[in-house]
Amino acid sequence: MRYGPILGAGAMFSLACSWAALVMAPQLQLGSLAPAALPNSTEIYPPARPGLAAQGAEVYRSLGCAQCHTRAVRQTQALYGVRLNELGAPANLVPGGADGKPLNLDLLLALAAVRHVLAIAPVPMPAALAGDTNIAPKFGLFETNRAILLRNDLKSGITRPTSGPTVNELAAKLPATILEKVSVEEGERGVKFLSEAGAKAELTFYNFGPDLDRGWGARRTVAQDYVNDSPVLLGSVRVGPDLAGIGTRAPEKFAAPWKFAGTNTAIELEHRLLVHVYNPRLLAKDSTCPSAKYLFTTNKPAIRPIHATDEPLPFVFPKHEARALVAYLLTLRADVGVADAPVPAAPKAAAAAAPKAPAKP
Amino acid sequence: MTTTQLSSQPACATAPSAAQVEASCRLPVLFLAFSGAAWLCFGAVLALLASVQLYTPAFMEGCPWVTYGRLRPAAVNALAYGFALQTSFALALWLIARLGRVELSAPLGLTIAAKFWNVAVTVGVFGILAGDATGFDLLEFPLYAALPLFASYACLAAWALVTLHQRTERELYVSLWFVVAALLWFPWILSTAQGLLLGWRPTGVVQAIVAGWFGQNLLQLVLTGSALAVLFYFVPKTVNRPLANPGLARAGFWLLLLIGGWGGLAQLAAVPAWIPAVSGAANFLVIVPVLALLTCLWQTAEGKIAEAWKENATFRFLLVAAILLLGVTLRTAFLGGTSTQFTFFAAARTDIVLLGVFGLAALGALHHIVPRLTTGDDELPSAGLADLAFWAALLGVLGVGIGFSLAGFTQAGVNANATKDFLKDGTVVIAGNLKLVTAGYAALTVAALAFLANFGLAVRRCCANCCGGAR
């Protein structure tokens, strides 16, 4: 090669290729992301950080917390399920179930089509309804359709058990889990069948992965989670636990598990995090996290004193930076389902136990 | 490369003698080399202190300036900008002057620009310690340090390109391809990354993508490219043979340029899946150009390696750097995916490339360049110190690389298995590995000090020769 300009042009061309692919293309794809309304809700996600938490983000960056803590939850698998919530509108229902409960005969057929391993039992028509010209034909039609279904089963090689649980029992107790941990196609097909039968069913979600098992989040983190952050501190090494969902982490999922003592869980979590910032080894003796004692003072009264241990230590008071840092950590709650990363609906009891959003100090 | 073919252009008809070329290089190259080695020493000490905190958290506790979250980025950036990039400028200037048979233009201007570079790095490192780090790997310097850094780089690169333009040896040798690519490439990636991350600030994870792209290009093309430039200059020179198979070198060079800039994002989480996929594929593909280039060097040196290892201090550094280049490429390709995500294994790549691939190659080259520019000999005054620098640097890089990698494997096992206790199984047990890392940084500090002492001896002897020992 004799000509420098050719060399230079070639080098610039190859750089331009990688620049276009890895700087420009991601910007075109993700650059317009903004806080947006959640599916089926008017709530905006992610919500803007209150002032104190926004200042805490600066403390987090300045102290280099991201050198040891990631803010990215991974997920190895996502599966789906179907939950039956309501039998349907009165028009679909017939009386005649056990204990006089209403029945949705179409739903039983749909359930049988969705769950091949369950038997479908005949439904005897109550004698009192024999004269009702609105209801009686429905029972007749159901019996016909059930026969067709069973015949089709034979044709396609499905063998239903003759005894054991039946779809009739499944539909008797609501809400009922119809399908668990299946593919998205199977889940959506199930919801479609049940909805066509007039029932109300919803798709449920199951997320899997070691990070989720550790209680670090309810789903994988996605680009949407970071649109309010600048700089975006994803972190690259986990010397300490992930912080993507620290604001909603259950007490027993901390490195040093603990329990809420009372009902004001937000205050307790805030106090816990303040103690961690003050000296992590007061909570987990093996922690290698450096303490940030310089964010506390012994002589300046603050809003709330913290008492670190049972030992007779002098009270310390968090400085503004410490309160800001903890306020920031409490806003890290990537637990809201978004379009491309749904979360499983928490059981009612667990939802109540999870820490609420912190009160503004 | 040693052909004496002269240019047909009349202005360049008279090539300067080697002594004239070296005289023009003396001030800027020695200044850059000395500052680079001093930053290596300082950065290694900072990294050492930071690594101690990983298993002794109470060490230097109580002062925000020296908390791990600030020390570690300060160390990495001191090593990247103070040592690696600065030394790469010294090597680039020297290679351009030597291979182009041309006197450096504006040596004084280059020295002043280099001084400003050092001032900017110092300000940047103190800025990080004071809490102004940007939070992006390898780009932690705050804006008030980043802008002077870019300005002084622009001066250095402009004069280097002017010198290149004035060369009397028109044929560009392989080493100069890498040098030119790095000279053109670095301002683009630096200005893109600084402009986007410190100025315009795109929304959300695009920031992390840009930072990852910058880091990859810095490590893979600018610094590894500089290491390859050194390898391609010194290997044929040491074994005293022309470069075997230049066609292979050319193919390897262009492929490295085309593929090298695409890796580096394979472990990014929370981004669209195509980005890690593309990067992971590039990490694999880059094996091809690296193998091509190393094969080319191997064919050149084949049969004379043992002899050169015994006789030449520079060659020892270069051989290890070449082996590490192969190692780090394979390591990133096969283990650089999600399995080692969020562990020290991935973080160690920066250290291995900065200190091992580039660091060893650069130290080796300086063991040849510094005596040429001072005493006029081919070797530094003290062979013992040169040996010490080599073995300490080798052990240091191995200590850091192996310590971080083993710790990374343990962390990866914990990351993949939720039944393991994060604190006990993932943090406490890696203390032993991290002590190896500390020892590695200590050895690197020793290596830098040994080289600096040898440097001092050479300068003293040079002064004694010139001024009769007046100093």
- What pLDDT, on a 0 to 100 scale, did the predictor assign at position B14? 75
pLDDT higher than threshold 60 for residue B324: yes
Per-residue pLDDT, averaged over B231-259, amounts to 94
Chain A neighbors of B341, CB-CB under 8 A? 74
Would you call A214 an interface residue with chain B, using a CB distance cutoff of 8 Å?
yes
* Interchain pair B203, A30: CB under 8 A: yes
pLDDT higher than threshold 50 for residue A261: yes
Would you call A282 an interface residue with chain B, using a CB distance cutoff of 8 Å?
no
Using alpha carbons, select from B285, B314, B283, B319 the residue that is nearest to residue B301: B319
Please tell me the distance from the alpha carbon of residue A149 to that of residue A355, in angstroms, as a whole number: 49
Disruptive mutation site among A2, A6, A23 for chain B (greatest number of B CBs within 10 Å): A23
- What pLDDT, on a 0 to 100 scale, did the predictor assign at position A361? 40
pLDDT higher than threshold 60 for residue A297: yes
* Interchain pair A21, B202: CB under 8 A: no
Per-residue pLDDT, averaged over A57-64, amounts to 94
Residues B329-352 have pLDDT tens digits of 999 999 988 889 999 998 899 999
Shortest CA distance from B177: residue in chain A: A7
* Interchain pair A231, B341: CB under 8 A: no
Please tell me the distance from the alpha carbon of residue B61 to that of residue A293, in angstroms, as a whole number: 8
Give the ipTM of the model, two decimals please: 0.91
The residue written with tokens 């969020």 in the block is B342
Higher pLDDT, B208 or A315: B208
- What pLDDT, on a 0 to 100 scale, did the predictor assign at position B439? 97
Higher pLDDT, A253 or A306: A253
Whether residue B410 contacts residue B430, with contact meaning beta carbons closer than 8 Å, is answered with yes
Who among A27, A72, A281 is closest to B270 (CB)?
A72
The CATH classification number of A51-76+215-353 equals 1.10.760.10
pLDDT tier, B10 (very low <50, low <70, confident <90, very high otherwise): very low
Is the N-terminal amide bond of A46 cis, ω within 30° of 0?
yes
Q: Please, which residues 138-197 of chain A have a Cβ atom closer than 8 Å to chain B?
A: none
- What pLDDT, on a 0 to 100 scale, did the predictor assign at position A305? 60
Contacts of B2 (CB under 8 A, 6+ apart): B242
Would you call A293 an interface residue with chain B, using a CB distance cutoff of 8 Å?
yes
Phi first, then psi: what are they for B49, rounded to 5°? -60, -40
pLDDT higher than threshold 90 for residue B377: no
Please tell me the distance from the alpha carbon of residue A96 to that of residue A105, in angstroms, as a whole number: 10
Enumerate the domain spans of chain B. 16-171, 312-471
How high does pLDDT run on average in chain A?
A: 84
Residues A141-195 have pLDDT tens digits of 888 988 898 888 888 888 888 777 888 888 878 888 888 899 989 999 999 998 8
Please tell me the distance from the alpha carbon of residue A233 to that of residue B204, in angstroms, as a whole number: 10
Range list for CATH 3.30.1390.10 in chain A: 78-208
pLDDT higher than threshold 50 for residue B5: no
The residue written with tokens 């390696």 in the block is B305
Retrieve residue B18's tokens: 């080697």
Residue ranges of the alpha helices (H) in chain A? 4-19, 25-30, 51-62, 105-114, 136-155, 167-172, 184-196, 210-213, 265-278, 320-330, 348-353
> On the CB side of A296, how many CA atoms lie within 13 Å of its CA?
22
The alpha carbon dihedral of B267, B271, B276, B277 has a sign of: positive
- Strand pairing of A176-182 and A77-86? antiparallel
How high does pLDDT run on average in chain B?
A: 92
Retrieve residue B29's tokens: 């190259």
Please tell me the distance from the alpha carbon of residue B196 to that of residue B139, in angstroms, as a whole number: 12
Using alpha carbons, select from B99, B119, B82 the residue that is nearest to residue B25: B99
**To the nearest whole angstrom, how far is the Cα of B357 from the nearest Cα of chain A?**
22
- What pLDDT, on a 0 to 100 scale, did the predictor assign at position A301? 55
* Interchain pair A236, B346: CB under 8 A: yes
> On the CB side of B399, how many CA atoms lie within 13 Å of its CA?
23
Who among B180, B261, B269 is closest to A14 (CB)?
B261
Fold type of domain A78-208: Ribosomal Protein L30; Chain: A, (3.30.1390)
Burial class (CB in 10 A: 0-12, 13-18, 19+), A91: exposed
Chain A neighbors of B135, CB-CB under 8 A? 61, 64, 66, 231, 233
pLDDT tier, A2 (very low <50, low <70, confident <90, very high otherwise): confident
Please tell me the distance from the alpha carbon of residue B136 to that of residue B210, in angstroms, as a whole number: 9
pLDDT tier, A346 (very low <50, low <70, confident <90, very high otherwise): low
- What pLDDT, on a 0 to 100 scale, did the predictor assign at position A237? 93
Higher pLDDT, A330 or A136: A330
Whether residue A191 contacts residue A202, with contact meaning beta carbons closer than 8 Å, is answered with yes
Residues B186-233 have pLDDT tens digits of 999 999 999 999 988 898 899 999 999 999 999 999 999 999 999 999
The CATH classification number of B16-171 equals 1.20.120
Residues A104-128 have pLDDT tens digits of 888 888 888 888 888 888 887 777 7
